[in-house]
Amino acid sequence: NNMIDYKNNKPFVEGVAIEDIAASYPTPLYIYSQKKIEDKYKKLKNAFNAEIFYAVKANSNQAIIKLMSRLGAGADVVSVGELERAIMAGVNPKKIIFEGIGKTNKDIAFAISNNIRLINVESIDEIQRINKVAKENNKNVDIGIRLNPNIDGQTIDKISTGKKTDKFGIDTDKLQEIFQALENAKYVNLIGISCHVGSQIFNIKVFSEIFIKMKTNAQLFLDKGYLIKHVDLGGGIGVTYRDKDDELDLELIKLELDKCFENVPYQLSFEPGRYLVANAGILVTSVVTIKNNGGINFLITDAGMHSLIRPALYQAHHDIEVVDKSNSELITYSVAGPICESSDILDKNITLPKQKVGNLLLIKDTGAYGKVMASNYNSRGLPVEILVNNNFFQKIHQPLTSQEFIKQDIIPEWLD
Ligand code: LLP
């Protein structure tokens, strides 16, 4: 699971010393391992006989999208911005799927003008609106239907997406309404169905339930005469966030997959984000100050909820490793960011070798939903991003300076 190697007790990523990167760029900074991403992609691709559409939302850096595309992945995008990112990174539009629950007519028109593979619709109204926009543009548009299969992904509540009461997809009880809407939408061709029941799925029974429900639904569409060419089984493949945990066994998912979809007349696909990038990234931060409050030893770092919001938002765990292990005295620390909010805690009660101000800490498994969810809260800068590839490293994102982002505000004349 680990992208970090040790030589003489010093951490390296693909032959590059993390300390060398931190000496070249200010912390906090994200480091990604290209090799780790390649390995994860190949592992997934080899395990499943299915197309992979990378869920760009997990890490939408141009370099990462380009890498995925070079590996052979398509892109799963959920906004015009992500669609633009995929196109600008050179993804073939015929390998782009446009998802998302709140597409405006303008978004739809943009997707249509780029001739992408398909638009996955999430409501009956959207079928009607795509038809209208397609007609205005005198085009036929391929669509998929994202179904809500009413499955509990058994993940944390805030990232559940596949239950009936979640806002996503169209309820599978509404198939008659879908058929009716499709009947009336002459500029729309239904070519696929999809689902996504949540993120961080570990239970093989959940995958099996998804597969069975999607197969049943695909058959209902086929029986009705729709030429279903793609069945998209979503993302959500779980990753480990603790080095001591066992990885999800893809072979077990494959067994269910093969058992369920034997000799089906359509192509299967997945749209994973986290699985491909989470374990391929770390957030490097410096200890800014050390203090004891009420008996708690705080290491205050320059990374915080503005650089990585997952711990504050979802109480998500990320292993934290120290670079300086020289002190044999062990201390129980809480690691907290510099943001003026009590929720800005990266981890509590972890035992680490005694630390000094200026030391580097590594917040692990932050390649997915890390930088993409970072913000300028407290008017702090976003982290630099670095890609490491076989002894080389290169900056792949230069954030705006505070001067630059402050200048994006406009003071009206009447306040001048
Ligand atoms: N497809 C759809 C339609 C999705 O909504 C998502 C994620 C994915 C694919 C990719 O799921 P993955 O393979 O990455 O699990 N910010 C949260 C995760 C939110 C996931 C949203 N949808 C986190 O930091 O855990």
| pLDDT tens for each residue of 60-119 | 999 999 999 999 999 999 999 999 999 999 999 999 999 999 999 999 999 999 999 999
> Residue 331 pLDDT > 70, yes or no?
yes
Q: pLDDT band at 168, cuts 50/70/90?
A: confident
Long-range CB contacts (within 8 A, 24+) of 248-254: 248/202, 250/43, 250/44, 250/47, 250/48, 251/47, 252/204, 253/47, 253/48, 253/204, 253/207, 254/47, 254/48
pLDDT of residue 317: 97
Furthest-apart CA atoms within the chain: distance in Å = 73
Q: Using alpha carbons, select from 198, 370, 375 the residue that is nearest to residue 277.
A: 370
Whether residue 333 is predicted with pLDDT greater than 70 in this model: the reply is yes
Q: Please give the backbone phi and psi of residue 102, each rounded to the nearest 5 degrees, phi first.
A: -125, 60
Closest Cα to atom 9 of ligand 1: 235
Q: How far is the CA of 327 from the centre of ligand 1 (A)?
A: 40
- Position 1 scores a pLDDT of 60
Residue with tokens 């029986």: 223
Q: State the first-to-last Cα distance of the chain, in angstroms, to the nearest integer.
A: 55
Q: Which residue CA neighbors atom 5 of ligand 1 most closely? A: 196
**Distance of CA 19 from the midpoint of ligand 1 (Å):** 32
Cα–Cα distance, 378 to 321 (Å, whole number): 26
Rg from Cα positions in the chain: 23
CB 385 within 8 Å of CB 32: yes
Q: Which two structure tokens, joined as six digits, stand for 147?
A: 């179904």
| For ligand 1, mutation pick of 41, 51, 145, 196 (most atoms within 8 Å of CB) | 196
Ligand 1 centre to CA of 354 (Å) is 37
Mean pLDDT value of segment 248-263: 96
Query: Would you state the pLDDT for residue 141?
Result: 98
Look up residue 394 and give its two tokens. 């290169």
Mean pLDDT of the chain: 95
Three-class secondary structure of residue 119 per DSSP:
strand
The reply to whether ligand 1 has any atom less than 6 angstroms from the CB of 234 is yes
Phi, psi (degrees; rounded to nearest 5) at 122: -120, 5
Name the 3-class secondary structure at 97: strand
pLDDT of residue 291: 97
> Is residue 100 in contact with ligand 1, taking CB distance under 6 Å?
no
Q: Does residue 97 line the site of ligand 1, with CB under 6 A?
A: no
Q: Does residue 159 carry a pLDDT above 70?
A: no
Which residue, by CA, sits nearest to atom 6 of ligand 1?
235
State mean pLDDT over 182-199: 96
Distance CA 384, CA 414 (A): 37
Written as one letter, the residue type at 157 is D
pLDDT of the residue at 339: 98
Q: From the CA of 14, how far away is ligand 1's center (Å)? A: 27
How much is the average pLDDT of 198-210?
95
DSSP codes of every residue in 312-332: HHH-----EEES------EEE
Angle between helices 62-71 and 34-47 (to 10 degrees): 40
Q: How far is the CA of 371 from the centre of ligand 1 (A)?
A: 14
The CA-atom distances, in angstroms, between 245 and each of 2, 51, 118, 241, 346 are 12, 28, 37, 8, 19
Catalytic residue numbers read 340
pLDDT of residue 373: 98
Q: How high is the pLDDT of residue 149?
A: 87
Query: Which amino acid, one-letter code, is at 236?
Result: G
Residue type, 387: L
Q: Is 356 strand, coil or helix? A: coil
Rounded distance, CA 295 to CA 273, Å?
A: 40
Contact 380 CB / ligand 1 (< 6 Å): no
Q: Quick one: residue 385, left, alpha or beta (phi over 0 = left, psi -120 to 50 = alpha)?
A: beta
Residue 194 CA, closest ligand 1 atom number? 3
Is the CB of residue 146 below 6 angstroms from any atom belonging to ligand 1?
A: no
pTM for this model (two decimals): 0.96
User: How many whole angstroms from 272 Cα to the centroid of ligand 1?
Assistant: 8
Protein residue whose Cα sits closest to atom 8 of ligand 1: 235
The verdict on the CB of residue 159 being under 6 Å from ligand 1 is yes
- Beta strands 230-232 and 188-194 are parallel
The whole-angstrom separation of Cα 205 and Cα 156 is 17
Rounded Cα gap, residues 136 and 128, in angstroms:
12
Tens digit of pLDDT for each residue in 286-317? Answer: 999 999 999 999 999 999 999 999 999 999 99
d(CA 394, CA 336): 28
Higher-pLDDT residue of 157, 342: 342
Q: Give yes or no for a contact between 41 and 71, defined as CB atoms under 8 angstroms apart.
A: yes
368-391 tens-digit pLDDT: 999 999 999 999 999 999 999 999
**pLDDT at 160 > cutoff 70:** no
Amino acid 36: pLDDT: 98
